[in-house]
Amino acid sequence: MDGMNPKNLKVNGDRLWDSLMEMAQIGPGVAGGNCRLALSDFDKEGRDLFVRWCQEAGCSIAVDKMGNIFARRPGKNPDLPPVTTGSHLDTQPTGGKFDGVFGVLAGLEVIRTLNDNNIETEAPVEVAVWTNEEGSRFAPAMVASGVFAGVFDLDYGHSRADVDGKTIGEELQRIGYMGDQTPGEHPIRAFFEAHIEQGPILEAEKKTIGVVTGAQGQRWFEVTLTGAESHAGTTPMNRRKDALVAASRLVTRINEIALAHPPHAVSTVGMMQVSPNSRNTIPGSVFLTVDLRHPEDETLSAMEAELRLACDEICGPAGIAADVDMIWYSPPIAFDKDCVGAVRKAAGEAGYENMEIISGAGHDACYVSRVAPTAMIFVPCEDGVSHNESESATPEDLAAGCNVLLYAMLERASA
Q: What is the pLDDT of residues 301-325, one digit of tens each?
A: 999 999 999 999 999 999 999 999 9
Mean pLDDT of the chain: 96
DSSP H helices in 212-260: 243-259
Question: Nearest CA to 359 among 347, 367, 348?
Answer: 367
Q: What is the mean pLDDT of residues 366-377?
A: 97
Q: What is the dihedral of CA 80, 81, 84, 90, to 10 degrees?
A: 150
Phi, then psi, of 379 in degrees rounded to 5: -125, 155
What is the model's pLDDT at position 130?
A: 98
CA distances from 165 to 37, 246, 327 (A): 15, 29, 18
pLDDT band at 330 (very low <50, low <70, confident <90, very high): confident
Percent of the chain whose pLDDT exceeds 70: 98
Residue 403: is its pLDDT beyond 90? Answer: yes
Look at residue 360 in the predicted model and tell me its pLDDT.
87
* Rounded distance between C-alpha atoms, residue 167 and residue 291, angstroms: 23
Q: Percent of the chain at pLDDT above 90?
A: 95
Using DSSP, state whether 227 is helix, strand or coil.
coil
129: nearest Cα among 41, 19, 43, 12: 43
Superfamily of domain 6-216+332-412: Zn peptidases (3.40.630.10)
Which of 86, 366, 3 is CA-nearest to residue 215? Answer: 366
pLDDT digits (tens, 9 = 90+) for 164-191: 999 999 999 999 999 999 999 999 999 9
**Confidence (pLDDT) at 3:** 44
Domain boundaries, the chain: 6-216+332-412, 217-330
Which band of pLDDT confidence, cut at 50, 70 and 90, is reported for residue 221?
Answer: very high
- Residue 410's alpha-carbon distances to 25, 89, 232, 402, in angstroms, are 31, 24, 67, 12
Under a CB-based contact definition with an 8 Å cutoff, are residues 357 and 381 in contact? Answer: no
69-73 and 321-330: which strand pairing?
A: unpaired
Q: What stretches of 8-117 show up as alpha helix (H) in DSSP?
A: 13-24, 41-56, 101-116
In the prediction, which pLDDT does 415 show? Answer: 66
**Phi/psi of residue 232, nearest 5 degrees:** -70, -25
pTM attached to this predicted model:
0.85
- Residue 5 pLDDT more than 70? no
pLDDT of residue 121: 97
Q: Is residue 287 exposed (0-12), middle (13-18) or buried (19+ Cβ within 10 Å)?
A: middle
Give the per-residue pLDDT at 2: 47
- Provide the CB-side half-sphere exposure for 294 (13 A, CA): 19
Tell me the CA distances in angstroms from 311 to 215, 225, 262, 273, one per residue in order: 28, 9, 22, 17
* Average pLDDT score over residue span 148-157: 97
Domain 217-330 fold: Alpha-Beta Plaits (3.30.70)
Model pLDDT, residue 294: 95
Query: What is the average pLDDT across 352-367?
Result: 94
State mean pLDDT over 117-134: 98
Rounded to an integer, what distance in angstroms lies between the CA atom of residue 184 and that of residue 270? 32
Write out pLDDT tens, residues 15-58.
Answer: 999 999 999 999 999 999 999 999 999 999 999 999 999 999 99
Query: In this structure, what is the dihedral angle of CA atoms 60, 63, 67, 71, given to the nearest 10 degrees?
Result: -20
Q: Please give the Cα distance from 392 to 110 (Å, whole number).
A: 22
DSSP 262-311: TTT-EEE---EEEES--TTEE--EEEEEEEEEESSHHHHHHHHHHHHHHH
Task: Please tell me the predicted confidence (pLDDT) of residue 7.
Answer: 63
Q: Exposure of 51 by Cβ count < 10 A (0-12 exposed, 13-18 middle, 19+ buried)?
A: middle
Better-predicted residue by pLDDT, 115 or 8: 115
Cis peptide before 262 (omega within 30 of 0): no
